[in-house]
């Protein structure tokens, strides 16, 4: 395979994995909100929604590794390995790639604290978990701006469909909070680590 074809394959893999990541991340946010509001389908036990939320989040981490590695290895762009962890140091589309790195860092904090939540305590875990509400819009803006294919109808559908899903879930959560419909988690579930 020549260098141009290799670069194009890496770009397609990076962009494709990024779009799938946006959908997965959106689903994770929506499932988290649904679990917290108790608005999951009645035929599903609450623990199924919680487990799906966690499993999709962990799968997204694996896909994120593919997304980052293929973007860094693409010889057409110069991103650099340092930009994987430190926002706004990439020479290529510095702001937009930096937002992706920032989203990774915020998501990493949520992931790490979720893995150690039993040791961390409910309040500390919950405080860090709120970063997901910041990480999603940062990742969304990265997804819109780091690529150059938003003019393609199917890409636009993925982007704007993901936005519609998350905005609807966030508004539902906000409305429930304003109405006082969100119940605090019971102490037994908090102690066992089954938190929403």
Structure confidence at residue 35 as a pLDDT band (50, 70, 90): confident
Residue 11's contacts (CB-CB under 8 Å, 6 or more residues apart) are 70, 74, 76
Name the helix (H) or strand (E) containing 195. none
**183: pLDDT confidence band, cut at 50, 70 and 90?**
low
pLDDT value, residue 40: 64
Tens of pLDDT, residues 108-151: 999 899 889 889 888 898 899 889 889 999 999 999 998 888 88
Instruction: Map out the domains of the chain as residue ranges.
Output: 18-192
């Amino acid at each position: 395979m020549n260098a141009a074809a290799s670069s194009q394959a890496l770009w397609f893999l990076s962009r494709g994995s990024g779009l799938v990541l946006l959908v997965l991340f959106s689903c994770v946010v929506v499932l988290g909100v649904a679990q917290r509001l108790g608005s999951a389908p009645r035929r599903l036990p609450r623990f199924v929604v919680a487990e799906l939320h966690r499993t999709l989040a962990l799968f997204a981490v694996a896909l994120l590794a593919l997304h980052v590695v293929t973007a860094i290895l693409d010889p057409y762009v110069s991103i650099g390995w340092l930009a994987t962890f430190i926002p706004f140091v990439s020479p290529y589309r510095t702001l937009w790639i930096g937002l992706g790195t920032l989203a990774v860092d915020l998501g990493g904090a949520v992931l790490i604290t979720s893995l150690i939540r039993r040791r961390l305590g409910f309040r500390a875990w919950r405080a860090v978990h709120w970063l997901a509400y910041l990480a999603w819009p940062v990742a969304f803006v990265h997804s819109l701006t780091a690529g150059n294919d938003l003019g393609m109808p199917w890409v636009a559908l993925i982007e704007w469909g993901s936005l519609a899903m998350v905005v609807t879930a966030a508004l539902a959560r906000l409305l429930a909070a304003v109405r006082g419909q969100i119940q605090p988690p019971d102490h037994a579930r908090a102690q066992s680590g089954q938190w929403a």
